[in-house]
Amino acid sequence: MIYYFSGTGNSKWVADKLAELTGDTAVSISALSDDDSIIADAAEEPKTGIVFPIYAWGIPGIVKQFCGRLHVADGAYAYAVCTCGNEAGNALKRLKTVFPYTSAWSVSMPNNYIPMFDVDDEQLARAKVAAARERLNDIARSVMERRRVYDVNAGSAAWIRTAVVNPAFNAFAMRTKPFFATDACNGCGLCEKNCPVDAIQMKNGKPVWVKKRCTQCLSCIHRCPQRAIEYGHATKSKGRYYFRESL
């Protein structure tokens, strides 16, 4: 089984491709009940994978919580694949404390954290996806052969970024207060439907962020067909991105 978390589709695509290449099944973490303890039985699930995006050189909280409920049986081959713009920091090393994987990889995918950066241009996005396709073939072969691999691009100053920047991000940048919908909103409700932590509710035909904190997946911003959602003033001049098979 491959369990994945994805906001704008990068990690979902990676999980789906790995499932296709390894003859496995990909399941969304967001769709699983918070109350269920999940046991990966080695006899029934000889391979157990986790696929997720890197947020500020760290692991999304929803993924950490899920890994705390996931029990991998002795003899199962456990592996982790993270998606990131370029660098993962020491996030995968931190992951091992809650998910005792055998192997781990990072896969570079198009950038989407627009409160701080802009999206990659179309040419760079296509180049990253093309490289990712080749990398996933290699990862799938390693998984099928149950190899022990650690191939993660931690980047420079990885310790500082994961130990210092990520906690600051979690403390100060996870707020929902800066989100708002402009007059371009037509009340379609797609943002509410796609929010993985149910932080959005439609009220009087407009989205309202009803929780103080979210995962910062930015699905609501990037998937809005009217481009009607912003995060303060930081996203107004930025592009929008979600994974499409045409890339």
Indicate if 179-231 has the same CATH topology as 2-169. no
Per-residue confidence (pLDDT) for residue 40, from 0 to 100: 54
Q: Taking CA 98 as the corner, what is the angle to CA 96 and CA 99, rounded to the nearest 5 degrees?
A: 60
The position carrying tokens 């707020």 is 175
pLDDT value, residue 246: 81
- What's the mean pLDDT in 133-145? 98
Q: What is the pLDDT of residues 200-212, one digit of tens each?
A: 999 999 999 999 9
How confident is the model at residue 103, as a pLDDT? 98
How far is Cα 80 from Cα 95, in angstroms, rounded to an integer? 9
- Looking at domain 2-169, its CATH class is alpha beta
Per DSSP, helices labelled H in 82-175 are 91-95, 122-144, 158-160, 166-172
pLDDT of 100 strictly over 70 = yes
Domain ranges (residues) in the chain: 2-169, 179-231
The pLDDT, as a whole number, for residue 74 is 79
Cα dihedral 21, 24, 29, 33, rounded to 10, equals 170
pLDDT value at residue 16: 98
Q: How confident is the model at residue 36 (pLDDT cuts 50, 70, 90)?
A: low
pLDDT of residue 55 exceeding 70 = yes
Q: How far apart are CA 10 and CA 244, in angstroms?
A: 9
pLDDT digits (tens, 9 = 90+) for 152-202: 999 999 999 999 999 999 998 899 999 999 999 999 999 999 998 899 999
One of 3.30.70.20, 3.40.50.10300, 2.40.37.10, 1.10.10.10 is the CATH number of 179-231, namely 3.30.70.20
Whether residue 69 has pLDDT greater than 90: no
Asked if the model's pLDDT at residue 42 lies above 60, the reply is: no
